[in-house]
Amino acid sequence: MTRLTKIGLLPAALLLLVGAKLDPENPTCPMEPNWGPDSAMILASADRDGKRVLLAEGIIDAGLPERLRKAIDEDEMIEEIWIRSRGGDARAGNAAGKVIRSFPGMLTRIPSGWVCFSACNFVFMGGDRRKVDDGGVFMVHMFTHTDQRDVIDMAVDGGTKDTVQLIGDIEQSSALLASEDNDFLIRMGISRKLLTEIMYQQSATSGEKLKGSRYCLSQKEAVEYNVMPIERPA
* Residue-wise pLDDT tens digits, 181-208: 778 888 888 888 887 777 766 544 333 4
Q: Is residue 24 part of a domain?
A: no
pLDDT in the model for residue 155: 53
Instruction: Domain count for the chain, please give it.
Output: 1
The answer to whether the CB of 114 falls within 8 A of the CB of 35 is yes
- Distant-in-sequence, close-in-space partners of 189: CB < 8 Å, separation ≥ 6: 226, 229
Question: Exposed (0-12), middle (13-18) or buried (19+): which is 214, by Cβ within 10 Å?
Answer: buried
Given the DSSP bridges, would you call strands 78-84 and 22-23 parallel, antiparallel or unpaired?
A: unpaired
> What pLDDT shows up at residue 9?
41
- Domain membership of residue 150 (yes or no) is yes
CB atoms within 10 A of CB 44: 10
Q: Is the CB of residue 89 less than 8 Å from the CB of residue 77?
A: no
On whether residue 25 sits in a domain, the answer given is: no
State how far the Cα of 152 lies from the Cα of 55, in Å rounded to an integer: 23
Model pTM greater than 0.85?
no
List, for the chain, all residue ranges whose pLDDT scores fall below the cut of 50. 1-18, 143-150, 164, 167-177, 203-210, 233-234
Specify the DSSP element, H or E, that contains 183. helix 178-188
Could you tell me the CATH number of the domain that includes residue 63?
3.90.226
Smallest CA-to-CA distance from 38 within 215, 157, 164 is with: 157
Answer whether residue 69 is part of any domain. Answer: yes
Residue 32: the pLDDT is: 92
Per the domain annotation, does 187 fall within a domain? yes
- Has residue 17 been placed in a domain? no
Q: Is residue 161 part of a domain?
A: yes
Q: Would 36 be classed as within a structural domain?
A: yes
Q: In which domain, by residue range, is 81 found?
A: 32-223
Asked if residue 85 lies in contact with residue 56, where contact means CB atoms within 8 angstroms, the answer is yes
